[in-house]
Structure 1
Amino acid sequence: MENQPKLNSSKEVIAFLAERFPHCFSAEGEARPLKIGIFQDLVDRVAGEMNLSKTQLRSALRLYTSSWRYLYGVKPGATRVDLDGNPCGELDEQHVEHARKQLEEAKARVQAQRAEQQAKKREAAAAAGEKEDAPRRERKPRPTTPRRKEGAERKPRAQKPVEKAPKTVKAPREEQHTPVSDISALTVGQA
């Protein structure tokens, strides 16, 4: 027992419990409601295994029972289970109501955090000078009647009179280069 690895996080402890007690704990899917007083059963059954302390077990059990998976599993008509998966009675209405409230509060906290993150992103974008997501203006609906009959020829558009602007005279360039057709006539610096 001395050389067994110590489980460091509550998630590792939950994974160990799901492996050791598969009919009670689940790593995936909907979790089943646990027997009241299951902590003491856990302490008795896993005493000394994997160098688990009571504090680690209590912390892992708190994380497991406050997870959304577990709270979704606490519903009317559900049955509590012991470590071996044996039924240990139905849930009381007050426990179902408590789980529902906990789930609502957890969802509200997550939603508030998301809203806060979105606000921070908008502030950062505004500080950086980026255009904020402005609502688009509505377009006019397209006419339902066709403008011309299908298969009909197009009429030429009337040309608008184009006003010619007075032409500005450019100043002559000072140096004009003449193209050289004979390479042997080139001198240094000549383009």
Structure 2
Amino acid sequence: MENTEKLANSKQVIAYIAERFPNCFTLEGEARPLKIGIFQDLSERLADDPRVSKTQLRAALRQYTSSWRYLYGAKEGAVRVDLDGSDCGALEQEHIEHAQTALAESKARAAERRKEQAAKQGDKKSNARDKTAPKANKSTVNQAKSRPAKAKNTKLTKKPVEPRRELNAEDIVVGKDVNVNMGNGNMPATIVELNKDEVRVRLSNGLTMLVKAEHLSS
């Protein structure tokens, strides 16, 4: 029996229409610009489909066309496609400029959110250290003051750790060589796909993985 359960959210709707119209929508890689009026075409094709409503289709299209990979694909020479993958004319220059502006603004907002999250995490760690730090015993402090200070060993010097440089929004582009911060170490990788909140990278061993942009550095 065919599954007629209604789709729950835009992510499921996008996956569904990508399955129904694979020559138009894609879930991975660079997305092709859509034909102007694609919503009307979708509404007509799926008019009798009980799994999705027009409201859901509109919301899903809005999410799809505002994703980083869709905006990244709206560039010089790109061609719009209809539901069957047929060419519907080259992308207009004003739409290219609009997509570039939207992509830059979205990246800037994501970078600002990462800074705010990092600041909050720093405050939490600082508060946790203050709460767990043991209070000094007065007698111990007095004994420490009465003991002569030991001469510092100036022969041993630690090699300074090279700081990791956080990526700016304009650094997060497909083909960029980066480091993925994994615990106490870094893994070299290359950016292969941009999503709204995550970045897909390919590691040196050929594997790909999705990571948050704040886990990348140069």
Partner residue in 1 for 2:58: 58
Alpha-carbon distance between aligned partners in 1 of 2:63 and 2:23, rounded to the nearest angstrom: 18
1:112 aligns with 2:112: yes
More strand by share: 2
1:26 aligns with 2:36: no
Larger Rg: 1
Partner residue in 1 for 2:43: 43
Summarize the Cα distance change of 1:85–1:125 in structure 2 as closer, same or farther, 3 Å threshold.
same
Secondary structure of 2:129 counterpart: coil
Partner residue in 2 for 1:17: 17
Give the 5 Å matches for 1:94-113. 94-113=94-113
Alpha-carbon distance between aligned partners in 2 of 1:11 and 1:57, rounded to the nearest angstrom: 11
1:83 aligns with 2:68: no
TM-score w.r.t. length of structure 2: 0.57
Give the 5 Å matches for 1:130-141. none
TM-score w.r.t. length of structure 1: 0.65
Alpha-carbon distance between aligned partners in 1 of 2:8 and 2:21, rounded to the nearest angstrom: 19
Give the drift of 1:52. 1.5
- Matching residue's letter, 1:18: A
Give the drift of 1:2. 9.7
Give the drift of 1:3. 6.4
Q: CA RMSD of the aligned region, Å?
A: 2.1
Unaligned runs of 5+ residues in structure 1 are 131-138, 142-191
Partner residue in 2 for 1:187: none
- Matching residue's letter, 1:47: A
Summarize the Cα distance change of 1:2–1:27 in structure 2 as closer, same or farther, 3 Å threshold.
closer
Partner residue in 2 for 1:164: none
Unaligned runs of 5+ residues in structure 2 are 131-156, 160-218
Summarize the Cα distance change of 1:78–1:129 in structure 2 as closer, same or farther, 3 Å threshold.
same
- Matching residue's letter, 1:94: E
Q: What fraction of aligned residue pairs are identical, expressed as a percent?
A: 61
Give the drift of 1:80. 0.2
Give the drift of 1:121. 1.5
Give the drift of 1:129. 3.2
CA deviation string 1:24-43 (max 9, x = no partner) = 00011111000001100000
Summarize the Cα distance change of 1:69–1:5 in structure 2 as closer, same or farther, 3 Å threshold.
same
Give the drift of 1:49. 1.0
Conserved 8 A contact 1:7-1:50: no
- Matching residue's letter, 1:38: I
Secondary structure of 1:96 counterpart: helix
Alpha-carbon distance between aligned partners in 1 of 2:158 and 2:18, rounded to the nearest angstrom: 60
Partner residue in 2 for 1:128: 128
Summarize the Cα distance change of 1:33–1:3 in structure 2 as closer, same or farther, 3 Å threshold.
closer
Partner residue in 2 for 1:8: 8
Conserved 8 A contact 1:6-1:51: yes
CA deviation string 1:64-85 (max 9, x = no partner) = 1001111111001100000000
Give the drift of 1:126. 2.2
Summarize the Cα distance change of 1:140–1:20 in structure 2 as closer, same or farther, 3 Å threshold.
closer
- Matching residue's letter, 1:55: T
Alpha-carbon distance between aligned partners in 2 of 1:27 and 1:50, rounded to the nearest angstrom: 22
Secondary structure of 1:17 counterpart: helix
